Amino acid sequence: MSNNHFKKGELYSFITGKASIAIARRLQKKFNTSGVNLTIEQWSVLYQLWKHDGASQQELCNATFRDKPSITRLVDNLEKLNLVNRVSDEKDRRINKIYLTRAAIKLQEETMALAEETLNEALSGVPADQVEMCKEVLQKVYDNLNG
């Protein structure tokens, strides 16, 4: 059985993920026009902290699929924006726990609404079962390459 799913011309767009790039750009535009002063990358870190405030930088690496230097600098920038604070763990002083500020907590509702709005626009006209299957395929791709 052939594993060769790709005609030549389609290969590039699958690798570059133009759909997810389009989604991210659309969400960024919504942030900008709504006066939300955040990059998508900064938002993706806040997103994890809204789920688990006080996560370590290493935990943020795992959750956002980034390496440690990336998280160091994203946290740097979020600190400059007064959205998070680094707090050194008392038991293990290597670890920084990252805590949301009041301002960051306030951003959750608005930005999550913009994110859901963006996804609904992106998936408009796509039947729910196809969305479901697409998510499964993409998860499988991820697992194939990281398992």
Partner DNA sequence: TTTACTTAGTTGCATAAACAACTGTATGTC
Partner DNA sequence: GACATACAGTTGTTTATGCAACTAAGTAAA
Contacts to DNA by CB under 7 A: 21, 25, 28-29, 32, 39, 41-42, 56-58, 61, 66-77, 86, 91-97
Closest CA relative to residue 64, chosen from 98, 18, 110, 32: 98
* CB distance 91 to 18 below 8 Å: no
Q: What is the nearest approach in angstroms of its own copies to the Cβ of residue 16?
A: 6
5 or 91, CB closer to its own copies?
A: 5
Residue of 23, 38, 55, 74 that binds its own copies (CB under 8 A): 23
Residue 96: strand, helix, or coil: strand
| Partner that binds at residue 79, options its own copies, DNA, none, CB closer than 5 to 8 Å by kind | none
CA atoms within a 13 Å half-sphere pointing along the CA-CB vector of 59: 15
DSSP line for 63-116 = HHT--HHHHHHHHHHHHHTTSEEEEE-SS-TTPEEEEE-HHHHHHHHHHHHHHH
Find the binding residues for its own copies in span 38-77 (CB under 8 A).
Answer: 40, 44, 47-48, 51, 64-65
Q: Does 17 bind its own copies (CB under 8 A)?
A: yes
Q: Which residues bind its own copies (CB under 8 A)?
A: 3-6, 8-27, 40, 44, 47-48, 51, 64-65, 112, 115-116, 118-126, 128, 130-131, 133-142, 144-146
